[in-house]
Structure 1
Amino acid sequence: MDSFIEIRFKKETAKRFQEFSRTHFKSHTETMATMLDFFFYNEISPKEKLGPTGRTIEAKLLKRINAVIAIMRDVEKTQTKPTVAMIQSLFQTEVPVKKPLILEKKYAEEKKEIRFREKQNPSNQL
């Protein structure tokens, strides 16, 4: 069995350590050993800042992803869809149905109506 040694901490620090140790590990010794191993293997100091947190990195990634999606939608609207429509119209083999011009319809209808009438003189009626 391993022997124990006494280390002195301030009360606030000791309480924080005990709470952390109880929530994440079985014993205080295991907690301290894991923390020391973490700093040793990752070659970092506890005093160093590790940079942006996971939340800030996630927020930045989401913003960039949204920007990429907006760019892709814009490209689709302005380039892809019009190009596809033009290519489809080029390869379309249907013969358009010949429709009479709108002017011809109006002219035909106007001919049916009487446009001018002869004026009748009252003297001619006698």
Structure 2
Amino acid sequence: MTRVPPLAGADLWQAVLSAAAGRCQCRGTCGKNHDKDGGRCPAVHGGYGPRHGTGPIRLLAAPANPNSLLLPAHQAAAVPKAALAAWCPACHDATRRAAAKAQQASAPAAEPDALFGL
């Protein structure tokens, strides 16, 4: 399995992928239970997806906490190595969407602006 590091942060990315043994660390936050694979996503860096034509999988180093996936880029870049996990793009995107949906659902409803004071 060849690991081609990203252009920036290669040492950090290598450390996260080594700690994850080159496998996605999602344990169901993406909405899939991954039961067939011991509760952890089977995607391996450099491996191929379940469907024909998906191409090789390139794992990402991103915050392990789903809520931290919603941080702006400048804050996400400051997340310490211990708080990072390896994610396949499918699990990363699905977990991020689920976190955004949960955040939106828990946000208080905004009151409409009144045009005229009564």
- Answer yes or no: same fold by TM over 0.5: no
TM-score when normalising by structure 2 = 0.24
Q: Which has the higher contact order (CA 8 A, sep 6+)?
A: 2
TM-score when normalising by structure 1 = 0.23
The structure that is helix-richer by fraction is 1
The structure that is strand-richer by fraction is 2
